[in-house]
A and B are shown apart, each in its own frame.
Chain A
Amino acid sequence: MSPTSRRDAVKKLREILEELTAVLSSGADPFAVNLREILDRLNEVLPQLSDEELPLDAEIIRHAAQIVKRQEEWVAGRTSLLALAPFIAILKLASMTKDELVRDFLGAWTPIVSLDRMTVGDLMLGMEYLGAKRLQTLQIPELPQIEYKPYEPISEDLRAALEAILVELKSTLEEMGRVPYDDFTRGDALRGYAVALALQENKASLNIDPLTEKIYIVKPREGTVESVVITFEGKRDAKNQKAG
């Protein structure tokens, strides 16, 4: 046997040994090592070895046996863990708050990345919509005249109903300090309107929890109240344009 082929064989043995040692020392998944392939490689190298190199070969076999043992332990551990997993899941659901669940969830979540774009289909749909709209406009020779009516309360009891809600809001805030907006309004437009009035009259204020994005109605804040002017821009008619 040539010294070169023997040197190559020893080099291969050392590589295998390093690979096995790395897995054993790092505690990585023992199934990451393809033991069958390693044994095949050993089988190829074995005829080229002299008696001096046999201890190296024996060392590899010893490491391979340790990996098999690790695999057995790993399977046993995983089986017991998987049997417990449903109980752990339900326990976790019962014991953790929403925030804790979200933080925990983020540790196991790798979301899909995608970009929204206009497709030919979307554009065609838009064209169809615009076409239909134009046709409809052309078919109507004259736009119906809208009759403007002075503002009237929809109910005679509106003021009384609003007052009652405002009193309820005040007592709730005095009792609890703050109340979630959704809980107080319960999806009712009138209650929502009453809250808007309370905010406008500085009888209450809003606070948004930055973590949950939940909106709370709180007691009015002390200090100077600042009003913000919002301007609306619109086209002036021809007469005004001339005057301007």
Chain B
Amino acid sequence: MPRTRKPAEALRRAARILFFRTHSKPGVKGWELRRALGSDYLSVIKSLNEYLAPLGLEVRAVTEDGRRLNLDEETGEHSRAIYVVTLKTQPTLTELKTSGWRVDYIAVLASAILYLYSNNGRAKRSDVENALKQKFQLWRLRAAIDKLVRAGYLDERDGVLSIGWRSYAEIDIEKFVMRKQ
């Protein structure tokens, strides 16, 4: 187990706050962590990361527009950022099936991200549906998009879909696009 100079109580509190979901969307804001853990919350998070690393997990700070922040250098953005615990390595297909997500919905997410990426990150929802309806039944596609919007993977405003903050937080989009099978 890694050594840390942070008090165990602070680490326990940080783990509870980060792991347990209290809002419909996952993640905790930086200012919420500051209020619960004190002004040096970033060093508590870094210490927690040392514990989580052997378990294949890590805490990430992501801005609303999806940029990942470096935990070593505190900036003004850190208190507005969303902190989430993610897997450090990619899940297998078997693990995906036990994650609570339908394989079909993940296929919709993958396809939507490719389409949106090729359109500079945003497109009309009707265009996305038209492009993907060859691969998916329309009613299932619509249900999947609604669910992905609710979960934060996609963002929908005035009939326009864009890649959501959660996709940026969880997916290495460039790697996915460039990846050869």
CB <8 Å contact, A108 and B179: yes
In the complex, A96 Cα to B166 Cα: how many Å? Answer: 24
The residue among A103, A110, A114 with the most chain B CB atoms within 10 A of its own CB is: A110
Q: Is the CB of B90 within 8 A of A107?
A: yes
Provide the residues of chain B in CB contact with A102, threshold 8 Å.
93, 96, 103, 106-107, 110
Is A85 touching B177 in the complex (CB atoms < 8 A)? yes
A117 near B21 (CB under 8 angstroms)? Answer: yes
Q: Which residues 200-244 of A have a CB within 8 angstroms of B?
A: 211-214
Report which of B21, B99, B110 forms a contact with A111, defined as CB distance below 8 A.
B99
Would A106 and B178 count as touching, CB distance under 8 A? no
* Pair B175/A107 contact, Cβ less than 8 Å: yes
- Asked if B137 and A182 make an inter-chain contact with CB atoms under 8 angstroms apart, the answer reads yes
Q: Are B170 and A212 in contact (CB under 8 A)?
A: no
- Cα separation A153 to B45 with both chains bound (whole Å): 65
Indicate if B75 sits at the interface (CB-CB under 8 A): no
In whole angstroms, what is the CA distance A112 to B175 when docked? Answer: 18
Whether A113 sits at the interface, judged by CB under 8 Å, is yes
Cα distance A184–B136 in the bound complex, in angstroms: 15
- Judge whether A90 and B93 touch: CB under 8 Å: no
- A47 / chain B contacts, CB cutoff of 8 Å: none
- Which partner residue on chain A sits nearest B136 by CB separation? A98
A113 to B114 alpha-carbon distance, docked (Å): 24
- Mark interface residues in A84-127 (1 if CB within 8 Å of B CB, else 0): 01111110110010111111111111111111110100000000
Q: Is B150 an interface residue (CB 8 A)?
A: no
For A103, the chain B residues whose CB sits under 8 A away are 93, 181
Q: How many residues on B have C-beta within 8 angstroms of the other chain's C-beta atoms? A: 53
Give complex CA distance A30, B111 in Å.
32
- 1/0 per residue, CB under 8 A from A, across B87-124: the answer is 11111110010010011101101110111011110000
Q: Is residue A164 contacting chain B, with contact meaning CB distance below 8 A?
A: no
Most buried by A among B21, B89, B103: B103
Q: In the complex the two chains form, what is the Cα distance from A105 to B172 in whole Å? A: 9
Verify if B14 is at the interface (C-beta below 8 Å from A).
no
Whose C-beta in chain A lies nearest to the C-beta of B117?
A89
Known: A89-B117, A93-B118, A98-B104. A112 touches B20 (CB 8 A): no
| Complex Cα spacing A93 to B177, Å | 10
A contact residues around B19 at 8 Å (CB): 113-115
Looking across the interface, which residue of chain B has its beta carbon closest to that of A96?
A: B181
> B171 and A113: CB pair below 8 A?
no
Q: Check B86 for interface membership: any CB of A closer than 8 A.
A: yes
Given contacts A81-B178, A90-B115, contact A114 B93 (CB under 8 A): no
Determine the distance from Cα of A90 to Cα of B128 in the docked complex, in whole angstroms: 12
Contact of B111 with A110 in the complex, beta carbons under 8 Å: no
Residues of B within 8 A of A214 (CB): 104
CA–CA, A178 and B102, complex, Å: 22
Chain A residues with a Cβ under 8 A of chain B:
81, 85-90, 92-93, 96, 98-117, 119, 182-183, 187, 211-214
**Known A85-B177, A90-B114, A112-B170; 9 more pairs at CB < 8 Å:** A86-B118, A101-B111, A105-B176, A112-B84, A114-B21, A115-B21, A117-B22, A182-B137, A213-B102
Q: List 24 A-B contacts (CB under 8 A).
A: A85-B117, A86-B119, A87-B118, A88-B178, A89-B117, A89-B177, A90-B114, A92-B114, A92-B177, A93-B114, A101-B110, A102-B93, A105-B113, A105-B171, A109-B91, A110-B171, A111-B91, A112-B27, A112-B84, A112-B86, A113-B86, A114-B20, A212-B103, A212-B104
